[in-house]
Amino acid sequence: MAARRWLRGARGARIPPALTERLRGTRLLALVAVLGPGLIAANAGNDAGGIATYSQVGAKYGYDLLWVMILITLSLAIVQSLAARMGVVTGKGLAELIREHYGLRWSAFATLAFFIAAFGICLSDFVGIGAALSLAGVPPQVSVPIAAAGIWLVIVRGSYRTAERVFIVLTIPFFAYPIAAILAKPDWGQVGHAIVAPHIHFSGAYLLLFIATAGTTITPYMQTYLQSAVVERGTREDEIGSETRQAVYGAIFADVIAAFIIIATGATLFQHGIHTISSASQAASALEPFAGRYAELLFAIGLLGASLLAAAILPIATSYVVSESLGFEKGLSHAPREAPVFVGLITAMIVVSTLVAIAPGIPVFALLIGVQVVNGLLLPVNLFFIWRLSRSCELMGERRTRGMLDFATGATVLLTSAQSLSLVVITLAGIGP
């Protein structure tokens, strides 16, 4: 008790500055330990493209697709928790396990598809950074290079722990979306009714947004980043329960945020007849007439945080996959000379994405359509490998999935794969929302 009083500075005693900094660092480390890669990976999925998709869902159908988020959350929690478990038990990333257990051909296919999809999404997130700050009057030619330089310094010059702390901080702007939803003054009775008794539309546009919502919420780079980050974090096997819970909590948090985006746009844009949104920044601007200037500001803050987080995670996830597939040294804890391929690819992705984001006349929408198709092709492959590897007795031992968890994982892989392949067919057929 006396020690506790001393630490609190009882009776006017002054805590030494060095000890104060140490205590602050301890609290921050404890926060990171509770949150960690599970929260970072799941929230990185709520990137600029994801926010645009959720905004379009709310504008087009109001609350009618909110029930989908329940199913998606269950699927995402299962997939993310399995990726975390494999990282803890094997000490290897997903791409490395695919190469070791299924050979170079499958590894090369998965790596190439992942690189194309992740690079396209990375471009869109740097565009999202420029779009978010342009709402405050800052041109992309100024904001994007500054943001890119900051991201590069955090990733390449900082340690893994430093980068993880920054990524945790970048999840804070996501709280802007629940506040924006409250400012939009939705009918919460209608929200609840849409979740428990959904109104299903039988149309191609509804099906497209249904599949796109699932596809933008469960994306391959989330699992690859999470598993590799767990490995680099050095999580012990006796901490597997904590790591799995983090993955589940992260999935729930990310999807609750997504639901609030749908609610905010459903309560404003849908109710006032604005049913088409082509970008997240457009959704932010459209909120102002109905929910006020602060709702627009909050939406823009959320977009900026989401774009910054995803713009940092995507180069890392891509570098993990390529380095693991080819057998190169990897990790944020390594200096550039120790992992030149890993650091070089991160740098190249950031530089090229910056140049594209500040260049005029780039067909971003056409790019995102192509990325969507590649993602649709890659996700079933990614999920299949996660399912097969996680149930392997040789690889996972007593930690392998079995019983109901194995059944639920197989069902998730089957249904999500069917949705993703349907999205590819619908996109190629030219059916729009």
| CA 433 distance to own-chain centroid | 23
Distance in angstroms (rounded) separating the CA atoms of residues 378 and 421: 9
- Tell me what pLDDT residue 24 has: 47
Q: In 3-state terms, what secondary structure has residue 325?
A: helix
Query: Is the pLDDT reported for residue 9 higher than 80?
Result: no
The DSSP string of 272-283 is: TT-----SHHHH
The DSSP string of 111-178 is: HHHHHHHHHHHHHHHHHHHHHHHHTTT--HHHHHHHHHHHHHIIIIIS-HHHHHHHHHHTTGGGGHHH
Residue with tokens 């968890």: 405
Report yes or no: 81 and 408 within 8 Å, Cβ to Cβ: no
What tens digit of pLDDT does each residue of 332-363 get? 888 888 899 999 999 999 999 999 989 877 66
What one-character DSSP code corresponds to residue 14?
A: P
Q: How many helices (H) and strands (E) does the chain have?
A: 19, 0
Q: Where are the alpha helices (DSSP H) in 45-65?
A: 48-61
Distance in angstroms (rounded) separating the CA atoms of residues 168 and 179: 19
Query: Is the pLDDT reported for residue 299 higher than 70?
Result: yes
Query: Is the pLDDT reported for residue 274 higher than 50?
Result: yes
The single-letter code of the amino acid at 92 is K
Structural tokens at position 243: 């790591």
Distance in angstroms (rounded) separating the CA atoms of residues 226 and 245: 13
What is the pTM for the complete model shown? Answer: 0.83
- Tell me what pLDDT residue 233 has: 83
CA distances from 159 to 28, 165, 166, 218 (A): 15, 10, 11, 28
The answer to which of 18-32, 147-161, 190-204, 365-379 has the lowest mean pLDDT is 18-32
Q: Which of 115, 47, 127, 71 is nearest to 375 (CA)?
A: 115
Report yes or no: 218 and 72 within 8 Å, Cβ to Cβ: yes
Please give the CATH number for the structural domain made up of 39-429. 1.20.1740.10
The single-letter code of the amino acid at 31 is L
Distance in angstroms (rounded) separating the CA atoms of residues 427 and 381: 19
Query: Is the pLDDT reported for residue 156 higher than 60?
Result: yes
- Tell me what pLDDT residue 327 has: 87
**What confidence category does residue 28 fall into, taking pLDDT thresholds of 50, 70 and 90?**
very low
Report yes or no: 247 and 78 within 8 Å, Cβ to Cβ: no
pLDDT above 90: percentage of residues in the chain: 30
What tens digit of pLDDT does each residue of 391-415 get? 999 899 888 888 888 998 888 888 8
- Tell me what pLDDT residue 112 has: 83
Q: Where are the alpha helices (DSSP H) in 184-219?
A: 188-196, 204-217
Average pLDDT, whole number, for the chain?
82
Report yes or no: 357 and 123 within 8 Å, Cβ to Cβ: yes
* Helix or strand run (H / E) with residue 92: none
Q: Let me know how long the chain is.
A: 433
Distance in angstroms (rounded) separating the CA atoms of residues 81 and 97: 17
237: number of CA atoms within 13 Å, CB side?
Answer: 9
What tens digit of pLDDT does each residue of 64-102 get? 999 999 999 998 999 999 999 999 999 999 999 999 998
- Tell me what pLDDT residue 369 has: 54
The single-letter code of the amino acid at 271 is Q
| CA 399 distance to own-chain centroid | 26
Which are the contacts of 273, defined by CB distance < 8 A and separation ≥ 6?
none
Residue with tokens 């939705």: 186
Q: Which of 161, 97, 139, 121 is nearest to 309 (CA)?
A: 121
- Tell me what pLDDT residue 368 has: 57
What tens digit of pLDDT does each residue of 277-294 get? 766 677 777 777 666 777
* Helix or strand run (H / E) with residue 253: helix 240-265
8: number of CA atoms within 13 Å, CB side?
Answer: 7
What tens digit of pLDDT does each residue of 309-340 get? 999 999 999 999 999 988 899 988 888 888 99
What one-character DSSP code corresponds to residue 269?
A: I
Distance in angstroms (rounded) separating the CA atoms of residues 349 and 316: 10
